[in-house]
Amino acid sequence: MKAMHKILFVRRLKPKGQLRGHHVKVRDYFFHCLAHPDLDPSVYFVPGEDCQEGSPWADIPQDRIVERPRMKEYDCVFLSGRDWQFLPGRLTKQKVINLIQHVRHASRSDARFDFLKRPAFRICASPEVYQVVAPIAVGVTVVVKYGIPMELFRGARRRRRKTIGIWAGKNRALGAKLDQELTKRRASVTLLGDYVTRREFAAAMQRHDLFVTLPNKTEGFYLPALEAMASRCAVVCSDARGNRSFCIHTQTCMMPRHNDYADHLGMIQQLMDDDKLREGIRQRGVTMARSYSLEAERADFFRFLERFILA
């Protein structure tokens, strides 16, 4: 009988209000490992932090949480972001899977830059992340594009036409300004600024015809835009570098200039006024999103494991 390959995830939990897509994705990779027949995954949380309600880790099996892991018992360690600094012991012969979720990792001014000098098998969230990380990282670097759970982000075919949702968690000032003006124009607008559970976020998307997402100027991927596409919304999302594989102006979304109030307002109004454009973007967005399923991500990750970790 083939021995199970023990893999340890190292994580620092975040309060509900600080959750981001990259926390969700590490959790997704944990469940990918749990589904693999040859892997035995566990997770170590930084001491003093608990799985609060709304945490993406709240539903993991309790017997998978280890409080005092013995590093020598593990064949592999899974790290993302700053997880390197929370290792509960010294690495010896363990292979390291390093999930790289942002283009900023390759910036010398970023706290995570020096981690790229450490040998690891690196998974990049997008081709855009790979382009900046691969030339400087020590070890193997590949792309496994993000996937989303299609059963959660499914589009409701019946919804009020021309209703607008605005996700402003990363740009509250612009979101508030757009909300104020669109409401003045008698549009039906919902402004979302506080972080909620992923299920609540998906439900909000399903209630709206148009969905405006306000990313940072640079992102490693940017899940909300793709999730809105899967939810059958006509999407407005500015360029964020890591979203270029699926955000295509006038095809899968409208892409105003970053943080440009007039440009955002103009493109939202254009979608409101032009039924053909709105429906075309909606349909092409749905088609694009379907190629980013969580199942496809798992299959790509399993191929990575078979080639580099389990070989």
Domains of the chain: residue spans and CATH: 5-147+293-309 (3.40.50.2000), 164-290 (3.40.50.2000)
- Condensed to tens digits (0 to 9), the pLDDT of residues 153-190 reads 987 766 788 999 999 999 999 999 999 999 999 999 99
Separation between Cα atoms, residue 250 and residue 18, nearest integer Å: 32
Distance set, CA 223 to CA 28, 98, 235 (Å): 13, 20, 12
* pLDDT value of residue 14: 61
* pLDDT value of residue 17: 46
* pLDDT value of residue 293: 96
* pLDDT value of residue 242: 96
Q: Per the confidence metrics, is the pTM higher than 0.75? A: yes
* pLDDT value of residue 147: 96
Q: What is the 3-state secondary structure (H, E, C) of 13-71?
A: CCCHHHCCHHHHHHHHHHHHHHHCCCEEEEEEECCCCCCCCCCCCCCCCHHHECCCCCH
List, in sequence order, every residue forming a beta bridge with 7; answer none if it has no partner: 41, 76
**Following CA atoms 250, 256, 257, 263 in sequence, which dihedral angle do they give, to the nearest 10 degrees?**
130
| DSSP classification of residue 306 | I
Q: Which residues of the chain have pLDDT under 70?
A: 1-2, 14-21, 48-54, 157-158
